[in-house]
């Protein structure tokens, strides 16, 4: 065995130590008493959990419709109820450990059982309680293995080994233990930050008295503030001086100056849009390139337009600042549209405006303020005389399919009732010379 690798020799040494501990436990009356206390603690915890869990579940379950702060807090605590059994067993085992150490001067067996109960609590936490995907991944591959190592009593040697393993990174270097702590603490802090951001987002969106643009600006500001505080808190907990990030800040500045200038421009443009309120969620806009739709979401980089046929168009925020944008919904103002039509050349066109204006004014969605329907002569076409009726409505005629068809129906019916013909294209064919005859 002398020629075996060092890691194999260490594993054999741990194995021999474990066998020695197992033999001492099996032959020791103190160990058997500790094992008996361990079983009793588990049975008592099982009995208590069966009695307490229904009561806690009933008390912590709020009404389904309630969205108050207290109801949300109760729902948050309710998801930790599955931890009741292992935590009760852990607490009772800790009490039993104090008793055995005071009576026998040792408590290795019951201490091992206490660590096992803590491992079970961590496993239930990751498997049943945590719903966030990142936190589940962190728990499955980091927290559960650490809890298992702790249950086996090997956490101290493993921590020492991780602390001695140094990873060089240029002028910087850090240990594996620092990396593990950074991942765990950072994951927890940013999970709490994301939870806080979700709660603040819900609260701000419910403030109906705020203008939509101000709500969006408040959402972005709270998100930046929450994650900024989380970052500073993480740096402080891990003992990282912010001055050491000067090189990283300089690299980010160079990146913004070259490859990330568009991203920075879109971010600043988004802040300007939110401050000025020229375009916000719910507005129907038409861009200089012809794209038109309702703004359904504004992000730090772009705005998302939903067209009348359900398509989504991602428009960079910079386009709203540097190009011409038509906002049909700004401040909830009325909008004017027109419906073109033609009449025959045999028509007395002096009667047409009054007939059409009276018919369109009877439609319930057509406004009299700022102006009523206005029928105008537009020109003399190839097949008929061209008119158009202008009308004002509240809302957006998205895709010309909401108000204009109803107006055209009213125009058609009014013309038919007054005997006015709507022309269709005519073509006159002239023959030079003798007209050809058809053979019978």
Q: Over range 163-181, report the average pLDDT.
A: 75
The pLDDT-based confidence of 73 (bands split at 50, 70, 90) is confident
% of the chain residues with pLDDT over 90: 7
pLDDT tens digits, one per residue of 4-20: 566 666 666 666 666 66
Q: Poorest-confidence range of 65-69, 167-171, 320-324?
A: 167-171
348 pLDDT above the threshold of 70: yes
In this prediction, residue 359 has a pLDDT band, given cuts at 50, 70 and 90, of: very high
Which of helix, strand or coil describes residue 252?
Answer: helix
Exposed e or buried b per residue across 233-270, where buried means at least 16 C-beta atoms within 10 angstroms of its C-beta: bbeeeeeeeeeeeeeeeeeeeeeeeeeeeeeebbbebb
Rounded to the nearest 5°, which phi and psi values hold at 316? Answer: -60, 145
What is residue 409's predicted lDDT score, i.e. its pLDDT? Answer: 93
Report residue 147: phi and psi, to 5°. Answer: -65, -35
* Global pTM value: 0.50
Q: Is the pLDDT of residue 26 over 60?
A: no
Say whether 293 sits in a helix, a strand or coil.
strand
pLDDT tops 60 at residue 126: yes
Which CATH architecture best describes the domain 334-417?
A: 2-Layer Sandwich (3.30)
Task: State the chain's mean pLDDT as an integer.
Answer: 78
Identity of the highest mean pLDDT range in 245-249, 298-302, 425-429: 298-302
Q: Mean pLDDT across the stretch 191-214?
A: 75
**Domain locations in the chain as residue ranges:** 6-164, 174-240, 263-330, 334-417
How much is the pLDDT for 305?
86
**213: confidence class by pLDDT, cuts 50, 70, 90:** low
| 138 vs 183: CA distance, rounded Å | 8
Q: Are 84 and 56 in contact (CB under 8 A)?
A: yes
pLDDT tens column, 37-61: 778 888 888 898 888 888 888 888 8
Q: Report the C-alpha gap between 31 and 29 in whole angstroms.
A: 5
CATH fold group of domain 263-330 = SH3 type barrels. (2.30.30)
Task: Say what the pLDDT of residue 412 is.
Answer: 93
Q: How far apart are CA 189 and CA 226, in angstroms?
A: 10
């Amino acid at each position: 065995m002398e020629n075996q690798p060092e890691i194999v020799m260490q594993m054999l040494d741990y194995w021999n130590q474990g066998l020695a501990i197992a033999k001492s436990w099996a032959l020791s009356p103190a160990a058997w008493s500790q094992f008996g206390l361990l079983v009793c603690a588990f049975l008592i915890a099982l009995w208590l959990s069966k009695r307490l869990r229904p009561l806690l579940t009933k008390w912590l379950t709020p009404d389904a419709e309630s969205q108050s702060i207290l109801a949300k807090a109760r729902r948050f605590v309710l998801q930790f109820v599955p931890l009741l059994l292992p935590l009760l067993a852990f607490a009772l085992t800790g009490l039993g450990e104090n008793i055995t150490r005071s009576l026998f001067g040792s408590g290795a067996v019951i201490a091992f059982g206490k660590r096992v109960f803590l491992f079970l609590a961590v496993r239930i936490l990751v498997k049943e309680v945590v719903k966030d995907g990142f936190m589940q991944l962190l728990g499955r591959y980091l927290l559960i293995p650490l809890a298992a190592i702790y249950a086996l009593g090997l956490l101290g040697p493993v921590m020492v080994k991780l602390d001695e393993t140094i990873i060089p990174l240029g002028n910087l270097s850090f240990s594996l233990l620092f990396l593990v702590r950074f991942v765990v603490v950072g994951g927890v802090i940013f999970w709490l930050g994301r939870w806080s951001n979700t709660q603040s987002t819900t609260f701000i969106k419910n403030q109906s008295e705020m203008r939509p643009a101000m709500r969006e600006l408040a959402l972005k500001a709270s998100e930046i503030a929450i994650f900024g505080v989380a970052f500073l808190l993480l740096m402080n907990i891990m003992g990282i001086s912010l001055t050491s990030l000067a090189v990283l800040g300089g690299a980010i500045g160079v990146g913004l100056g070259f490859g990330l200038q568009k991203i920075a421009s879109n971010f600043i443009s988004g802040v300007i849009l939110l401050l000025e309120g020229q375009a916000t969620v719910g507005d129907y806009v038409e861009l200089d390139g012809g794209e038109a739709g309702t703004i359904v979401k504004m992000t730090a980089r772009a705005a998302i337009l939903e067209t009348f046929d359900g398509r989504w168009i991602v428009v960079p925020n910079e386009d709203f600042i540097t190009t011409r944008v038509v906002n049909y919904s700004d401040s909830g103002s009325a909008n004017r549209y027109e419906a073109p039509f033609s009449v025959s050349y045999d028509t007395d066109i002096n009667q047409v405006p009054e007939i059409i204006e009276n018919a369109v004014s009877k439609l319930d969605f057509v406004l009299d303020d700022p102006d009523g329907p206005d029928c105008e002569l537009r020109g003399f076409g190839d097949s008929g005389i061209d008119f158009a009726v202008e009308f004002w409505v509240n809302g957006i005629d998205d895709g010309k399919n909401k108000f204009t068809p109803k107006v055209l129906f009213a125009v058609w019916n009014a013309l038919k009732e007054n005997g006015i013909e709507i022309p269709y294209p005519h073509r006159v064919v002239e023959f030079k010379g003798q007209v050809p005859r058809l053979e019978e």
